[in-house]
């Protein structure tokens, strides 16, 4: 759901006003092991009550500043890959109060949990199990948060793999064989288990230095991330979208079977459980203008509606393909949008329309498998087909007529798609690592190649200035494309394995995200 109230351009002015109206500040310097100013370390200030964390970076002179902090008790910490300081600091801040804290980093080890998925793919040895691990298991998460530091023995890994293939059977069915399950468990054990063959640190591998990102530019050090922890350590929050009351709705993917509402002021998270039995795999939760919240259950081929009056959830089951009940190939609900007339359109298999008045689904058979979805100012539904030979297309809800368009790059696997305020269509080409643009008036395409070995743009949005923002799933960077100049600026993230799936702009111009593997939702903006 797109907001018409500006973009990241508003962030600076909004936060400048906030700073003038009762907000605390923490400043300081980060020094390296040699005592010199340290550039690019992440400094985090976490409010111990609300669990809100503001993440900033030290600039070229080693100084950092954390602005606009509400009064409260904070824990301060610093980190940089390959370094450690072994300390945290606590400070109590009043309104308009300033505090100073300096940090001194010491040389440490690079951990496997610090790497990106792309780095893992380069450094891990080739062996049976690697391909299904990356192609099937890593569709939802990577190795960093759930494997790198666990140290199970072979039996433990076998149990974890069996749990995942069972709880996510709707997805894994037909995609991983029993032999491949065994191969995956054996392979993970060789990487991170009791019988590991990998060195303790990836720095010991000759190829590691070739995978390290080049130093980020000065503009990248201005990026600020504000995030909130979810109450359950395995919530797996997929995204966060603002409702009419300024709260943020979060779908919990996997077997949690919950949606949640975040109050960004207090940090309170209220959860609501869907009646579905089995794994819901809630992929998308979108607030509607009437205060209700619609969401998809990918694992159950259902959509659900949360009622703002009763706070109860009603589910609506779509039909399965005969013989494929309970499996992704038999039908699924993926990402949804709510039209002004109340219709609910969702991707998955196939593209479908749900009429709440009649309680009826209508499948669009000419779009059998689809991923991203967006609506334009004319009420049309745009979609991206994340298939080897797919492109983008548009459906007219009034006539149900569908028209498809093929981007210049074949096999690009278009994933997310958005519309800007001018009605221009933008889409993320996951496989080819490009940003695509389509003008519905001229029917002309334009593409921009993103930097890096595997840019893999996933979460995706256009701000009020017309800049395109994306997250790289495999390289763990945030990127911004200026289509006017073709310039791309990459920004480091405070987390490895970001797994960001979708960006949503809110009424303040913030860009919200979920990072499932890190169990957080939040937003980002550029500081002055």
Closest by Cα among 54, 186, 84, 209 to 125? 186
* 457 or 4: which leads in pLDDT: 457
Task: Confirm if 436 and 424 have CB atoms less than 8 A apart.
Answer: no
Per-residue burial over 37-63, b if 16 or more Cβ lie within 10 Å, else e, is ebbbbbbbbbbeebbbbbbbbbbeebe
Q: Which of 107, 133, 151 is the last residue of a domain?
A: 107
Do 447 and 504 lie in one domain? The reply is yes
3-class secondary-structure state, position 431: coil
Do 82 and 138 lie in one domain? The reply is no
Over residues 23-45, mean pLDDT: 97
| C-alpha span between 324 and 269 (Å, rounded) | 36
3 domain residue, yes or no = no
Do 455 and 322 lie in one domain? The reply is yes
12 domain residue, yes or no = yes
Do 197 and 253 lie in one domain? The reply is no
Q: What's the pLDDT score for residue 85? A: 77
- Residue 195 confidence class, pLDDT cut points 50, 70, 90: confident
Residue 147, pLDDT > 90, answer yes
2 domain residue, yes or no = no
Do 234 and 331 lie in one domain? The reply is yes
Over residues 445-461, mean pLDDT: 98
459 domain residue, yes or no = yes
Question: 345-348, long-range: CB within 8 Å, 24+ apart, which pairs?
Answer: 345/373, 345/375, 345/381, 345/395, 345/397, 346/284, 346/296, 346/303, 346/373, 347/371, 347/372, 347/373, 347/383, 348/296, 348/298, 348/301
Percent pLDDT > 90 in the chain is: 94
- Residue 528 confidence class, pLDDT cut points 50, 70, 90: confident
Do 267 and 393 lie in one domain? The reply is yes
306 domain residue, yes or no = yes
Q: What's the pLDDT score for residue 16? A: 39
Q: What is the pLDDT of residues 39-64, one digit of tens each?
A: 999 999 999 999 999 999 999 999 99
Lowest mean pLDDT among 17-31, 134-148, 264-278, 302-316: 17-31
How many domains does the chain divide into? 3
Do 477 and 380 lie in one domain? The reply is yes
Q: Which of 107, 139, 172 is the last residue of a domain?
A: 107
Q: Tell me, what CATH number does 73's domain have?
A: 2.60.40.10
Q: What's the pLDDT score for residue 458? A: 98
Backbone phi, psi, residue 156, to 5°: -65, -40
458 domain residue, yes or no = yes
1 domain residue, yes or no = no
Residue 66, pLDDT > 80, answer yes
pTM over 0.85: yes
Q: Tell me, what CATH number does 188's domain have?
A: 1.10.760.10
Do 376 and 248 lie in one domain? The reply is yes
Q: What's the pLDDT score for residue 414? A: 97
216 domain residue, yes or no = no
Q: What is the pLDDT of residues 291-300, one digit of tens each?
A: 999 999 999 9
Percent pLDDT > 70 in the chain is: 96
Over residues 481-488, mean pLDDT: 98
Question: What are the structure tokens assigned to 57, written together?
Answer: 């970076």
Q: Tell me, what CATH number does 512's domain have?
A: 2.130.10.10
Closest by Cα among 415, 452, 420 to 435? 415
Q: What is the pLDDT of residues 335-372, one digit of tens each?
A: 999 999 999 999 999 999 999 999 999 999 999 999 99
Q: Degrees (nearest 5) of the Cα angle 448, 453, 454?
A: 75
Residue 12, pLDDT > 50, answer no
Residue 19, pLDDT > 70, answer no
Sequence-distant (6+) residues with CB within 8 A of 214 are none
Q: Which of 73, 107, 141 is the last residue of a domain?
A: 107
Q: What is the pLDDT of residues 70-93, one digit of tens each?
A: 999 999 999 999 999 777 899 999
Residue 13, pLDDT > 60, answer no
The burial class, CB within 10 Å (0-12 / 13-18 / 19+), for 301 is buried
Do 136 and 243 lie in one domain? The reply is no
Do 102 and 193 lie in one domain? The reply is no
Do 387 and 480 lie in one domain? The reply is yes
Q: Which domain holds residue 505?
A: 221-526
Do 433 and 383 lie in one domain? The reply is yes
Over residues 398-402, mean pLDDT: 97
Residue 5, pLDDT > 60, answer no
Q: What's the pLDDT score for residue 7? A: 37
Over residues 424-431, mean pLDDT: 98
């Amino acid at each position: 759901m797109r907001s018409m109230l500006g973009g990241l351009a508003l962030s600076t002015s909004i936060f400048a006003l906030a700073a003038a109206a009762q907000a605390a500040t923490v400043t300081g310097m980060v020094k390296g092991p040699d005592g010199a100013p340290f550039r690019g370390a992440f400094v985090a200030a976490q409010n111990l009550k609300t669990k809100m964390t503001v993440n900033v970076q030290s600039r070229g002179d080693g100084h950092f500043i954390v602005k606009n902090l509400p009064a409260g008790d904070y824990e301060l910490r610093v980190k940089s890959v390959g370094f450690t300081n072994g300390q945290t600091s606590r400070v109590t801040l009043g309104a308009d109060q300033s505090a100073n804290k300096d940090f001194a980093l010491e040389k440490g080890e690079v951990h496997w949990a610090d790497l990106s998925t792309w780095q893992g793919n380069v450094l891990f040895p080739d062996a049976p199990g690697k391909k299904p691990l990356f192609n099937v298991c890593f569709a939802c998460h990577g190795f960093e948060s759930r494997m790198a530091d666990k140290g199970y023995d072979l039996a433990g890994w076998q149990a974890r793999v069996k749990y995942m293939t069972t709880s996510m059977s709707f997805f894994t069915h037909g995609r991983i064989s029993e032999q491949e399950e065994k191969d995956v468990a054996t392979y993970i054990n060789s990487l991170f288990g009791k019988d590991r063959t990998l060195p303790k640190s990836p720095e010991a591998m000759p190829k590691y230095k070739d995978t390290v990102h080049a130093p980020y530019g000065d503009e990248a050090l201005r990026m600020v991330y504000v995030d909130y922890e979810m109450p359950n350590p395995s919530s797996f929050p997929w995204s966060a979208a603002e409702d009419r009351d300024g709260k943020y709705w979060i779908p919990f993917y996997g077997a949690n079977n919950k949606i949640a509402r975040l109050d960004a002021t207090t940090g309170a998270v209220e959860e609501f459980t869907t009646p579905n039995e089995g794994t819901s795999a809630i992929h998308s939760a979108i607030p509607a203008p009437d205060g209700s919240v619609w969401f998809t259950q990918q694992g159950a081929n259902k959509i659900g509606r949360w009622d703002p009056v009763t706070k109860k959830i009603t589910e609506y089951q779509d039909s399965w393909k005969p013989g494929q009940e309970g499996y992704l190939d038999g039908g699924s609900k993926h990402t949804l949008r709510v039209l002004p007339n109340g219709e609910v359109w969702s991707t998955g298999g196939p593209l479908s329309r749900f009429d709440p008045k009649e309680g009826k689904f209508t499948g669009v058979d000419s779009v059998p498998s689809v991923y991203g979805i967006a609506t334009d100012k004319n009420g049309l539904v745009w979609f991206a087909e994340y298939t080897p030979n797919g492109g983008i297309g548009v459906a007219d809800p009034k006539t149900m007529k569908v028209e498809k368009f093929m981007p210049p790059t074949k096999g690009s696997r278009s994933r997310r798609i958005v519309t800007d305020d001018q009605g221009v269509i933008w889409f993320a080409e996951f496989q080819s690592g490009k940003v695509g643009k389509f003008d519905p008036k001229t029917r002309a395409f334009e593409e921009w190649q993103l930097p890096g070995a595997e840019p893999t743009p996933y979460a995706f949005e256009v701000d009020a200035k017309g800049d395109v923002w994306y997250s790289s799933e495999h390289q763990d960077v945030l990127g911004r494309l200026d289509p006017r100049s073709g310039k791309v600026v990459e920004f480091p993230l405070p987390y490895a394995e970001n797994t960001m799936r979708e960006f949503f702009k809110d009424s303040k111009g913030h860009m919200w995200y979920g990072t499932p593997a890190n169990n957080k939702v939040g937003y980002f903006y550029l500081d002055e």
